[in-house]
Chain A
Amino acid sequence: MTALFIILVLVFILIAIWQMVKIFDLAQAGLPEDNQVATEKDNTMNAYLMMGFLAFIYIITIVCIVKWGDLPLLSNSASAHGPEIDNLMIISLVLIFVVQTITQFLLHFFAFKYKGQKGRKALFFADNNTLEAIWTIIPVITLAGLIIYGLFTWTSIMNVSEDDDPTVVELYAQQFNWKARYSGADNTLGKANVRLIDIDRANILGLDESDPNAQDDIITSELHLVVGKPVLFKMRSQDVLHSAYMPHFRAQMNCVPGMITQFGFTPTITTADMRQNPDMVDKVKHINEIRVENSKELVAKGEEALDPYEFDYLLLCNKICGKSHYNMQMKIIVQTQEEYDAWIKEQKLFKDSLVEN
């Protein structure tokens, strides 16, 4: 309803505006400059508006940075490679900010300063090789730096070394939820293919029941990781493309039917520690204030209040995958080795989870 009301108001404003323009035009009709080409007056007015618009660009930038610039996703990364990405991101953002501020100033200021006036003659300035060279070479140098830095970062993230002895975990995507499969004591995932899925026997991920490596695999609906221990995800999808997006860990990889993709990282902060992080405490507090406000409205309407929010790492689907794409998530819990060991001991091994026909 609010939206409709806004639209109605806007439509009326619109009608008012074009009526005013009509009156304005009628007042001008018959004058020699009434040919719809910009006059000196128009030039001056729009030149000032250009400066106003420059101010608007700066203001919206500042407002966005002040209000929303303290992004917990740009700092406090929870993986070993995260700070590398964040540093590169911050360098790039600062560079963008500087170039943006200068070029927008030049553009709008020139538009203001050189507004058309009677008697002014434009400078016939068609070419200058020195200038062209300057603004070719400066971007070349800057970009060379960014490319080199970026490629080193990329290579170090994507090349998972087997020497680190990573824990191998399978991430399994289906419309519209996630499963994790741990490789058990042998640290080797059993063979699997969607053709082997047998819902009646509860073999939901299509593991090869005859493969000895599969027997001690563990399938869970929550992702538990050990802090400080490298993990290598092997990703599968059973139906359409999905993308395993773990923003806090600066990690993302698509899950592709018919192939196994991979991504590895080392979590560095436990869930418990992250909940204590001052930035995160502030963010959670802020979110809970919003949720309390929203709950009041809901309760007034006779609906249930929202649960208070507690921070958790999340795995989100980030590739359009169908109707419930917007609600395809899995909780990630980073914990100490002892906590992890205790948890994994309680989980059922694959061979024990099968249902006999």
Chain B
Amino acid sequence: MSEHADTHAHDDDHGHHHKSTFITKYVFSTDHKMISKQYLITGVFMGIVGILMSIMFRMQIAWPEQPNVLFEALLGKWAPDGVMDADIYLALVTIHGTIMVFFVLTAGLSGTFSNLLIPLQIGARDMASGFLNMVSYWLFFVSCLIMLGSLFVEAGPAAAGWTIYPPLSALPMASSGSGMGMTLWLVSMAIFIASQLIGGLNYVVTVLNLRTKGMSMTRLPLTIWAFFVTAIIGIVSFPVLLSACLLLIMDRSFGTSFFLSDIFIQGEVLHYQGGSPVLFEHLFWFLGHPEVYIVILPAMGLVSEIMAANSRKPIFGYRAMIASILAIAFLSTIVWGHHMFVSGMNPFLGSVFTFTTLLIAIPSAVKAFNWITTIWKGNIQMNTSMLFSIGFVSTFITGGLTGIILGDSALDINVHDTYFVIAHFHLVMGISALYGMFAGIYHWYPKMFGRMMNKNLGYIHFWVTAVCAYGVFFPMHFIGMAGLPRRYYTNTNFPLFDDLADVNKVITIFAIIGGIFQLIFLYNFFVSIFYGKKATMNPWRSTTLEWTTPVEHIHGNWPGELPVVYRWAYDYSKPGQDVDFVPQNIPLQEGEEELQH
């Protein structure tokens, strides 16, 4: 008993001995909960920029070369008389992709929820290294500033597509964006990668070492499994992108020839010899493909958790879910070549990558069916987070299924780099991951800010977004199958595509509506921070440990001792219990079996 009291006192002391100033509390904070909020708000801001860009280039596609006051106001010299310039069109496409993939759906999603949930759900006081965690965020912040700064350089931001294939990205004479704009892009990404690596190592170490008593790996919520595996994929693959970026910087600035050879441009032969752009493609996609799983796995984790809690049912096939996360993670590192079927690499390699790529459909199918079975015979609470989770499964299926076409090298020949690809990856990893992020925000908002978001605004936000997302991306499959290439500033030079003009208008109108309705989310998000209904400790009646912490954030998370875990995370509606959920820190009753697998 006295020992108990001692630890208690010690922990209390640990919790309060920090004298925090404004700077250490809100700016250079080492508290994972604050860092998580910093990631989220930065991510939301970058998301606004990225989505605004997409609306602008969609307007150009729907009403090509028409003057528009929006362009005049936002693009300035890049829209003389309000008509968007072709260079800035490519720049917008490029920066939209970069921001959404890396800054919003990697840092904004995984950064926010890994930071928030890893310590809270495994029962830890904080991350293994609070300092490195802080460094990780501030590197991310700096990389955001540099990326945003690149929008304002004289010759324009990077405009070689988010895949920045050289030689286009390497030669300033090939594209106006390949000068200072590309330099800043590369510097920004190098810093971003450093941030991700530091963050990722921290997540892995924390999950492995700081689990509370009783929290075995097979009692971890699926969120933690997803973040853990995501961090490992990031650690394995991000360094390869870093090396690609560094070699590209060498080619650009120091005259090396890693990716360049035999180039004649603007009347002169350049000195480069012996390099190959295909090498860059390999390096880029060695990260680039795992990257889509870095984006989608955390969303899958969040959705699994939210679906179980709101269906009042255990997640179906907990072990199969873990196995499929691991299978996806493993396969994700050996499929990158499916982006390169027509790059000029040996067709035999194409065969190998077709084989490995289509295998990914198996664990993905297992996950989809497990989610569907999870809601079967549930008692579904239609909170906004649950709606977004169901939406996630819906778009993941729709977008994922077309993967069996794109992953099939023979079929990829004809739809490679068309709008079919845009439709596929936006649904399966763009919209899905965004839904996962929204679901996570609505669900853990009470944990982050101690207040609730307005549910009615949430419902409007979800339903309009859901309709618009399909309205935008579903028809794109068809214009893709009609052979329309992506990244065309206008299609008017091809009478062949004249009959697709009306589809493009429909898509853009859906995009504008969908974009504008995100304002409802922003309003709900920011206003609720200050004026939302006060949250209770466990508003969703959930089993995981984060809901056993006080609503008001304290340093060290739990006021007393760390909770001890006695059961897995999914004891919802367990027979023989009075309530329909049993938190992980409640000991088993006499005669009760853990019954988890």
Which residue from B176, B264, B402, B536 sits with its C-beta under 8 Å from A96? Answer: B402
Q: A2-B63, A43-B381, A316-B494 are in contact. Are A193 and B262 (CB under 8 A)?
A: yes
Whether a CB of chain A sits under 8 angstroms from the CB of B467 is yes
Task: Compute how far the CA of A317 lies from the CA of B416 in the bound complex, rounded to whole angstroms.
Answer: 12
Residues of B within 8 A of A38 (CB): 381-383, 386, 455
Residues of A within 8 A of B495 (CB): 287, 291, 306-307, 309
Residues of A within 8 A of B160 (CB): 320
Residues of A within 8 A of B171 (CB): 239-240
Task: Compute how far the CA of A13 lies from the CA of B523 in the bound complex, rounded to whole angstroms.
Answer: 15
Whether a CB of chain A sits under 8 angstroms from the CB of B526 is no
Task: Indicate if the CB atoms of B394 and A108 lie closer than 8 Å.
Answer: yes
Which residue from A18, A106, A175, A259 sits with its C-beta under 8 Å from B520? Answer: A18
A125-154 contacts to B, CB under 8 A, are: 125-128, 131-132, 135-136, 138-140, 143, 146-147, 150-151, 153-154
Task: Compute how far the CA of A103 lies from the CA of B399 in the bound complex, rounded to whole angstroms.
Answer: 13
Minimum Cβ distance to chain B for residue A234 (Å) = 11
Task: Indicate if the CB atoms of B366 and A136 lie closer than 8 Å.
Answer: yes
Residues of B within 8 A of A250 (CB): 413-414
Task: Indicate if the CB atoms of A114 and B394 lie closer than 8 Å.
Answer: no
Minimum Cβ distance to chain A for residue B172 (Å) = 11
Q: Is the interface of A mostly helix, strand, loop or mixed?
A: helix
Task: Indicate if the CB atoms of A107 and B481 lie closer than 8 Å.
Answer: no
Minimum Cβ distance to chain A for residue B171 (Å) = 7
Minimum Cβ distance to chain A for residue B70 (Å) = 6
Whether a CB of chain A sits under 8 angstroms from the CB of B276 is yes
Whether a CB of chain A sits under 8 angstroms from the CB of B368 is yes
Complex interface: stretch among B21-29, B286-294, B341-349, B555-563 = B341-349
Whether a CB of chain B sits under 8 angstroms from the CB of A211 is no
Task: Compute how far the CA of A4 lies from the CA of B82 in the bound complex, rounded to whole angstroms.
Answer: 12
Which residue from A24, A100, A159 sits with its C-beta under 8 Å from B401? Answer: A100
Q: A35-B539, A323-B87 are in contact. Are A124 and B314 (CB under 8 A)?
A: yes
Q: A11-B516, A195-B269, A238-B265 are in contact. Are A126 and B498 (CB under 8 A)?
A: no
Minimum Cβ distance to chain A for residue B244 (Å) = 15
Task: Compute how far the CA of A291 lies from the CA of B497 in the bound complex, rounded to whole angstroms.
Answer: 11
Task: Compute how far the CA of A158 lies from the CA of B348 in the bound complex, rounded to whole angstroms.
Answer: 9
Residues of B within 8 A of A316 (CB): 483, 485, 494
Task: Indicate if the CB atoms of A197 and B269 lie closer than 8 Å.
Answer: yes
Task: Indicate if the CB atoms of A122 and B573 lie closer than 8 Å.
Answer: yes
Minimum Cβ distance to chain B for residue A208 (Å) = 14
Whether a CB of chain B sits under 8 angstroms from the CB of A333 is no
Residues of A within 8 A of B595 (CB): 126
Task: Indicate if the CB atoms of B414 and A3 lie closer than 8 Å.
Answer: no
Task: Indicate if the CB atoms of B86 and A324 lie closer than 8 Å.
Answer: yes
B: interface residue count bin: 35 or more
Whether a CB of chain A sits under 8 angstroms from the CB of B322 is no
Whether a CB of chain B sits under 8 angstroms from the CB of A73 is yes
Complex interface: stretch among A64-72, A161-169, A183-191 = A64-72
Task: Indicate if the CB atoms of A256 and B277 lie closer than 8 Å.
Answer: yes
Task: Indicate if the CB atoms of B278 and A259 lie closer than 8 Å.
Answer: yes
Whether a CB of chain A sits under 8 angstroms from the CB of B405 is yes
Task: Compute how far the CA of A43 lies from the CA of B507 in the bound complex, rounded to whole angstroms.
Answer: 31
Task: Indicate if the CB atoms of B379 and A261 lie closer than 8 Å.
Answer: no
Whether a CB of chain A sits under 8 angstroms from the CB of B471 is yes
Task: Indicate if the CB atoms of B351 and A46 lie closer than 8 Å.
Answer: no
Residues of B within 8 A of A117 (CB): 379
Task: Indicate if the CB atoms of B487 and A320 lie closer than 8 Å.
Answer: yes
Complex interface: stretch among A55-63, A222-230, A345-353 = A55-63
Which residue from B161, B168, B519 sits with its C-beta under 8 Å from A14? Answer: B519
Task: Indicate if the CB atoms of A88 and B394 lie closer than 8 Å.
Answer: no
Q: A122-B378, A124-B575 are in contact. Are A326 and B491 (CB under 8 A)?
A: yes
Minimum Cβ distance to chain B for residue A245 (Å) = 7
Which residue from B381, B470, B509, B575 sits with its C-beta under 8 Å from A57? Answer: B470
Task: Indicate if the CB atoms of B494 and A85 lie closer than 8 Å.
Answer: no
Which residue from A11, A50, A240 sits with its C-beta under 8 Å from B168? Answer: A240
Residues of A within 8 A of B513 (CB): 10
Residues of A within 8 A of B311 (CB): 114, 122
Residues of A within 8 A of B597 (CB): 126-127
Task: Indicate if the CB atoms of B404 and A143 lie closer than 8 Å.
Answer: yes
Cross-chain pairs A/B with CB under 8 angstroms, 11 sampled: A36-B454, A64-B475, A68-B479, A238-B265, A239-B263, A240-B166, A261-B344, A290-B499, A316-B485, A326-B490, A327-B493
